[in-house]
Amino acid sequence: MIPVKWKIYRIMNYVLLVASAYLFLKVFEALIIRFYYDFMSVLISVTVLFLMIQSIINLAIMTKTFPGKLLTGAKKNWHVFSTIINGIAFIGLTYAFVNMLAEIDDYSYSQYKTLILITMLIFLLLLATVLFIFICQLTLKRYLHRTNIALMNSMIDSIGSDT
């Protein structure tokens, strides 16, 4: 049976995939309609694209390795690639969030208070999700190794038993 942490990890990857696909389409649509490409728009669209890619990789790795297989060969390389992409995306999201906070002045805050609060809440939830997935990615290899050893030990112990 898969522990709750890894079930949440799978659910968060699905949520992140859907949310990042939606955000990517919205940002890409805005870029096409405006024909104006500033640094923040491109940064957010690339960051969200990275989040989509790493979610797909994480879900594929979970499908092929859970609950008791090791990360070997190409799966290990994809996992490392996904972890690096997630780290870059987290840095990009953090930079965009801090930059967004710096651009808020008293006039715009009083005029668009609700919109600004909703946007900040979405960014904070996205940052928390990406951070949780990143932490899980860092512990995935160790978890799979321990689970594989426990599975092998139980198989070896069951060879001589009469149950």
5-35 pLDDT per residue, tens? 888 988 999 999 998 888 888 877 777 777 6
DSSP string, 27-66: HHHHHHHH----HHHHHHHHHHHHHHHHHHHHHHHHHHHT
Q: Which residue has the higher pLDDT, 106 or 62?
A: 62
Question: Where exactly are the structural domains of the chain?
Answer: 4-153
Share of the chain above pLDDT 70, in %: 92
pLDDT at 132 over 90: yes
CA 76 – CA 158 distance, rounded (Å): 30
The 10s digit of each residue's pLDDT in 74-116 is: 888 898 999 999 999 899 888 888 888 887 776 666 777 787 7
Predicted TM-score (pTM) of the model is 0.77
The answer to whether the CB of 96 falls within 8 A of the CB of 46 is no
- Cα–Cα dist 44/143, whole Å: 32
**DSSP letter (8 states) at residue 80:** H
- Kindly state the tokens that stand for 130: 């990406």
Is the pLDDT at 163 greater than 60? The verdict is no
Considering the chain, what is the average pLDDT of its residues?
82
Max intra-chain CA distance, the chain: 77
Tokens (6 digits) for 74: 């190409």
Is the model's pLDDT at 121 over the cut of 90? Answer: no
